[in-house]
Amino acid sequence: MSMTDSDTSPRPAARHETESSKRRDILDGARRVFFDKGFDGASMDEVARAASVSKATIYVYFPSKEELFEALVHTDRARSAELLFEIDRDNEDVESQLRRIGVSFMTMMVQPDHIRLVRMVIGVAEKFPNIGKAFYNTGPCNGGRRLADLLRQHADRGHLVLDDEIAAAHLFFNMCQSSITKGLLFGETQQPAPEQIQQTVDRAVRVFLAAYGPHKPD
């Protein structure tokens, strides 16, 4: 029996994989262009060249430069969150977990590409508020929710005493940043040494546990 044209067409799973691969290529190309040129300086022609696709192909996946940048924000923040929360949730040592998360968080926050991304988002958020919301929801809010979930687990085990785990999570992240991230955002060019990050996180952990650790009887 001879094969028909429909017999040789790509299977749905194969088509999906091809489309996913093409979308990743476009986002990878867009990342290089946006980080090199900035949002306003980037063009879809440059993204097409960087991704080795036609501009028409980009528009199949992303109808505008704004939507392409928003998708890049979603992808990068989701990827960062996965790396940040690669932890053993059965670990009973809340102090070591907080220290590990804090150091990973700050190591990510001070990366030049992350600083560039934050600056770009701030620069376009007034004109394109959806981009600002995407960054906030997939970055700070998502990280806060995931840390809050971990803190609640420790509270249920008696390791912490919490009145608001979301507020506690954001407080911890803010203490880890101290003045380091703001300095980089506003022009500080000296990258913090790993020892400086470690010391800042250690202080944040000590203050956090002093506030939320289990209360000792008088």
Question: Rounded to whole angstroms, what are the CA distances from 88 to 79, 132, 198?
Answer: 18, 32, 20
Domains and CATH numbers, the chain: 9-63 (1.10.10.60), 69-212 (1.10.357.10)
Helix segments in the chain, DSSP class H: 12-41, 44-51, 55-61, 65-84, 94-109, 112-125, 129-136, 142-156, 165-177, 180-185, 194-212
3-state SS class at 197 = helix
pLDDT at 11: 59
Look at residue 162 and tell me whether its pLDDT is greater than 90: yes
Structure token digits, residue 66: 């704004």
Q: At which residue do the structure tokens 């040789």 appear? A: 8
Q: How many CB atoms lie within 10 A of CB 91?
A: 12
pTM for the model stands at 0.82
Look at residue 4 and tell me whether its pLDDT is greater than 70: no
Q: What is the CA radius of gyration of the chain?
A: 22
Look at residue 191 and tell me whether its pLDDT is greater than 60: yes
Contacts of 204 (CB under 8 A, 6+ apart): 98, 102, 172, 175, 176, 178
Q: According to the per-residue pLDDT averaged within each range, which of 77-91, 104-118, 203-217 is highest? A: 104-118
> What is the arithmetic mean of pLDDT over 19-41?
91
pLDDT at 19: 58
> What is the arithmetic mean of pLDDT over 192-205?
96
Q: What DSSP line would sit under 136-189, residue for residue?
A: HIIIIIHHHHHHHHHHHHHHHTTS---S-HHHHHHHHHHHHHTTHHHHHHTT--
| Separation between Cα atoms, residue 8 and residue 145, nearest integer Å | 46
Among 194, 4, 18, 210, residue whose Cα is nearest residue 110: 194
Look at residue 12 and tell me whether its pLDDT is greater than 70: no
Look at residue 6 and tell me whether its pLDDT is greater than 80: no
3-state SS class at 69 = helix
- Summarised one tens digit per residue, pLDDT across range 73-100 is 999 888 888 778 777 767 789 999 999 9
Residue 217: pLDDT band by 50, 70, 90 thresholds? very low
Contact 138, 73 (CB under 8 A): yes
Contact 135, 54 (CB under 8 A): no
Average pLDDT across the chain, whole number: 88
pLDDT at 15: 46
- Summarised one tens digit per residue, pLDDT across range 139-155 is 999 999 999 999 999 99
3-state SS class at 5 = helix
Residue 48 amino acid letter:
A
pLDDT at 5: 47
